[in-house]
Structure 1
Amino acid sequence: MKRTVLAAVLVLSTLTASAADINGRWQNFDDKDGKPKAIIAINGSTGSVVGVAKGVDPNCPSCKKPGSLVGRTILWNLKPDGANEYEGKIHDPKSGRTYSAHVTVNGNSLKVCGYIGLRFAGRCQTWKRV
């Protein structure tokens, strides 16, 4: 009996340890030229802009309250949705629109997809851990 319980605990701890961690700082890139744009810090279920790359306009004219992008929450309500996957909401400061988000962690890469309705019809970016 003790061995069965110990084996179960070891298996569960291995599964938990192998799950990729979404928390941390992530660099996103421009869709057109591939240059760095901003650094987003994800902590728990939210992600906020903590910095912008050199040459990137730090202002957010499309936001409800115009001002700096730094400090703005652009990801929220992130909830696990399978192994290394999360669902939530994402705000695009450039367009001012909010979308459903599907996020997949793969090592030091984060695939972030924003969509309305069907996930496969959305737009995806790959962010890198910094």
Structure 2
Amino acid sequence: MKKLLFTCCAILMSVALFAQGSDPVLGKWQNSSAEGRIEIFKKGDKYYGKLYWIKDATKKDSKNPDEKLRSRNIQGLEILTNFSKKGNSFEGGKIYDPKNGKTYSCQMTLNGDKLEVRGYIGISLIGRTEVFTRIK
């Protein structure tokens, strides 16, 4: 009886751990222009994204409003920060655009192997959406 109870508990724990680790937004994504790739990961209960590959790996963050940061490489920057999950959406986060050095409010919506990333100022009606594709 103890063996059966232990086996059942082990199976339930395995299923619970698998369910926690199967968050479909986590992983590597490519932007629509194929110039950059972002890896989305989780810190605690928040989601973040790091620009782990760009076409020109030597490109600097020259448009950053902070002069001290202009000499850093764009590749490796954490450009998606502080998102909270709400169903298939991720809200309350920010996106940094190294092309212009600005940070925008952002929301992301997962749709299968597509991730709609919308950066905006104020309300989400005033903004731009880019569709990222999962890298398999």
CA distance in 2, matches of 1:69, 1:84: 28
Please say which structure displays the higher CA radius of gyration.
Answer: 2
Q: Which aligned pairs between 1:44-123 and structure 2 lie closer than 5 A?
A: 44=42, 45-53=47-55, 58-63=59-64, 64=66, 65-66=69-70, 67-81=72-86, 83-87=87-91, 88-123=93-128
Helix, strand or coil for the counterpart of 1:113? strand
**Identical residues among aligned pairs (%):** 32
Per the normalisation by structure 2, the TM-score is 0.71
Matched letter for residue 70 of structure 1? Q
Helix, strand or coil for the counterpart of 1:120? coil
> Could you say which residue in structure 1 is the equivalent of 2:36?
38
Using the TM superposition, give the Cα deviation of residue 58 of structure 1 relative to its aligned residue in structure 2, in angstroms.
2.7
Size of the aligned set, in residue pairs, is 109
Using the TM superposition, give the Cα deviation of residue 59 of structure 1 relative to its aligned residue in structure 2, in angstroms.
2.2
> Could you say which residue in structure 2 is the equivalent of 1:25?
28
Per the normalisation by structure 1, the TM-score is 0.74
Matched letter for residue 39 of structure 1? R
Q: List structure 1 runs of 4+ shifted beyond 3 angstroms.
A: none
Helix, strand or coil for the counterpart of 1:36? coil
RMSD: 2.3
Using the TM superposition, give the Cα deviation of residue 109 of structure 1 relative to its aligned residue in structure 2, in angstroms.
0.4
Using the TM superposition, give the Cα deviation of residue 60 of structure 1 relative to its aligned residue in structure 2, in angstroms.
1.8
